[in-house]
Chain A
Amino acid sequence: MFNVRVTLTIALILFAYVLFAQSGTIRGIVIDDMNAEEIIGASVVVDGTTIGVSTDLDGKFDLVVDPGVYNLKVSFISYATLIIENVEVKPGDINLLGAIRLQGSTQLLSEVVISATVVRNTETAMLTMKKKSANLIDGISSDLIKKSGVSNAASAMTKVTGVSIQEGKYIYVRGLGDRYTKTTLNGIDIPGLDPDRNTIQMDIFPTNVVNNISVSKSFTAEQSADFTGGVVNLELIDFPDERTFNLSAGIGYNPGMHFNNNYVTYKGTTGDLFGLGSYSREIPSDRRTSIPQFADVIGSPDGPAGQDFQNILRSFDPTVGTSIDRSAMDFSLGVSFADQKKLKNSTLGYNFALTYKNDTEFYEDAEFNLYGKQQSISDFELTPLERQVGSFGTNNVLLGGLIGVAIKKDNSKHKISLLQLQNGEKKAGNFNFQNSNLGANFEANQYNLEYSERMLSNLLLEGDYYLPNNFKLNWKLSPTRSSIIDPDIRFLRFRLPNQTISSEVGLPERIWRYLEEYNVSGKIDVIKDYKLFGDKAKFKFGGSYTFKERDYEIQSFQINPGNTVFTGDPNELFLEENLFSSSNINGVRYEPLFIPNNPNQFLSRVNHLGAYVSNEFNVAALLKAIVGLRIEKYDQFYTGSNQTRTIILDDEKVIDDIDFFPTLNLIYSYSEKQNLRFSATRTVARPSFKEMSFAEISDPITGRTFIGSLLTEIQSDGITTDTLWDGKLTPTDIMNLDLRWEFFRDKGQMISLSAFYKKFSNPIEIVQFLSDQGSFQARNVGDAEVIGAEFELRQNFEFIRPKLENLFLTANVTFTHSQIALSESERRSRAISAREGEEVIKKRQMAGQAPYIINVGLLHKYDKWKIESGIFYNVQGQTLLFVGFANKTDVYSVPFHSLSFRVSKVLGEKENMNLSLQANNILNDEKEQIFKSFNADDQIFSRLRPMRMFSLGFSYKF
Chain B
Amino acid sequence: MKNLKLTKNALVAVFFATAMSFSLTSCDDDDDDVTPVSPAPTGNVIISGNITSDVTWTKDKVYQLASRVAVVDGVTLTIQAGTVIKGEAGSGANATALVIARGGKLMANGTAQEPIIFTSIADEIKSGQIASPNLDPTLQGLWGGVIILGKAPCSLSGGIPQTNIEGIPESDPNGLYGGSIANDNSGVIRYISIRHGGANIGEGNEINGLTLGGVGSGTVIENVEVIANVDDGIEWFGGTVSVTNAIVWNSGDDALDTDQAWAGTMDNFVVICGSNTDHALEIDGPEGPFRDGHTLRNGTIKGSNVAELADFRDGAQGTFENIYFTGFPSPATSNGRGDFSLSNRNNTTNTTDNFTNGVLIFNNLEVTLPASTTLSSVFKSGTDAHASEVAFAAKTVGADLSQFSGWSWTAVSGQLDF
Residues of A within 8 A of B (CB): 1, 4-5, 7-8, 10-12, 14-15, 17-19, 286-296, 298-299, 303-305, 308, 341, 343, 348, 350, 372-377, 381, 383-384, 403, 405, 416, 418, 420, 435-441, 455, 457, 459, 479, 481, 483, 485, 493, 497-498, 500, 502-507, 516, 556, 558, 560, 562-563, 585-586, 591-597, 599, 642-644, 646, 694, 696, 698, 703, 705, 707, 711-712, 714-719, 769-773, 775, 829, 832-833, 885-888
Contacts and interface: CB of A to CB of B under 8 A. Distances in A.
Contacts of B253: 502-504
Nearest to B199: A591
B16 interface: yes
25 contacts: A288-B31, A289-B33, A290-B37, A292-B37, A294-B141, A296-B121, A374-B348, A418-B14, A436-B346, A439-B259, A439-B282, A498-B334, A500-B276, A502-B276, A504-B231, A506-B200, A556-B92, A558-B200, A560-B140, A593-B92, A594-B94, A717-B151, A718-B179, A773-B158, A833-B159
Q: Would you list the 10 A-B pairs with minimal beta carbon distance, nearest first?
A: A886-B158, A718-B179, A506-B203, A718-B151, A593-B92, A11-B13, A293-B89, A591-B91, A295-B89, A497-B335
A479 to B, nearest CB: 8
Contact of B14 (A11, A293, A593, A829): A11
Interface residues of B, number: 112
Nearest to B32: A289
A383 B67 contact: no
A794 B200 CA distance: 60
Interface string B274-285: 011010001010
B257 interface: yes
A942 to B, nearest CB: 18
B13 A8 contact: yes
Interface centre among A17, A303, A457, A646 (most CB of B within 10 A): A457
- The winner among A4, A435, A497, A562 for most chain B CB atoms within 10 A is A4
Contact of B259 (A438, A644, A712): A438
Contact of B170 (A305, A719, A775): A775
Contacts of B218: none
B37 A305 contact: yes
A643 B169 contact: yes
Given A516-B26, A597-B93, A503 B198 contact: yes
Contact of A705 (B170, B179, B288): B170
B7 interface: yes
Contacts of B94: 593-597, 643
A373 B170 CA distance: 22
Nearest to A18: B3
Given A7-B13, A438-B204, A305 B38 contact: yes
A358 to B, nearest CB: 22
Interface of B: 2-4, 6-7, 9-11, 13-14, 16-18, 20-22, 24-26, 28, 31-38, 49-50, 67-68, 88-94, 102-103, 120-122, 124, 134-136, 138-143, 151, 155-164, 169-173, 176, 178-181, 184, 198-200, 202-204, 206, 230-231, 252-253, 257, 259, 275-276, 278, 282, 284, 286-289, 306, 311, 313-315, 334-337, 343, 345-348
A286 B202 contact: no
Contacts of A591: 91-92, 141, 199-200
A800 B335 CA distance: 73
B346 A384 contact: yes
A500 B306 contact: yes
Given A343-B4, A711-B171, A773-B158, A295 B122 contact: yes
A296 B90 CA distance: 10
Contacts of A438: 157, 204, 259, 284, 287
Given A771-B160, A832-B159, 18 more contacts: A287-B31, A288-B33, A291-B35, A291-B37, A295-B121, A403-B14, A437-B204, A497-B335, A504-B278, A563-B138, A585-B139, A591-B200, A595-B90, A597-B94, A599-B93, A644-B50, A703-B203, A717-B151
Contacts of A646: 49-50
Nearest to A436: B346
B6 A14 contact: yes
A772 B170 contact: yes
B7 A295 contact: no
Contact of A296 (B22, B38, B286): B38
A15 B286 CA distance: 73
A383 B315 CA distance: 14
Contact of A481 (B21, B170, B343, B347): B21
B37 to A, nearest CB: 5
A562 B160 CA distance: 37
A436 B120 CA distance: 33
A545 to B, nearest CB: 19
User: Among the interface residues A343, A438, A595, which one has the most CB atoms of the partner chain B within 10 A?
Assistant: A438
Contacts of B156: 886
Contacts of B68: 644
A596 B102 contact: no
Given A295-B88, A887-B158, A769 B14 contact: no
A14 B311 CA distance: 73
Given A420-B21, A593-B91, A643-B172, A717 B31 contact: no
Contact of A585 (B26, B136, B313): B136
B336 A497 contact: yes
Contacts of A887: 157-158, 287-288
A439 B284 contact: yes
Contacts of B336: 497
Contacts of B22: 457, 479, 481
A14 B10 contact: yes
Contacts of A303: 38
Contacts of A295: 88-89, 120-122, 142-143
Nearest to B11: A405
B162 A771 contact: yes
Contacts of A374: 345, 348
A778 to B, nearest CB: 14
A765 to B, nearest CB: 18
Contacts of B206: 503
Contacts of B88: 295
Which of B17, B37, B156 counts the most A-chain CB atoms under 10 A from its CB?
Answer: B17
A303 to B, nearest CB: 8
A642 B179 contact: no
Contacts of B198: 503
A481 B24 CA distance: 11
A14 B140 CA distance: 63
A719 B91 contact: no
A483 B136 contact: no
Contacts of A304: 35
B336 to A, nearest CB: 7
Contacts of B159: 832-833, 886
Contacts of B32: 288-290
A42 B50 CA distance: 77
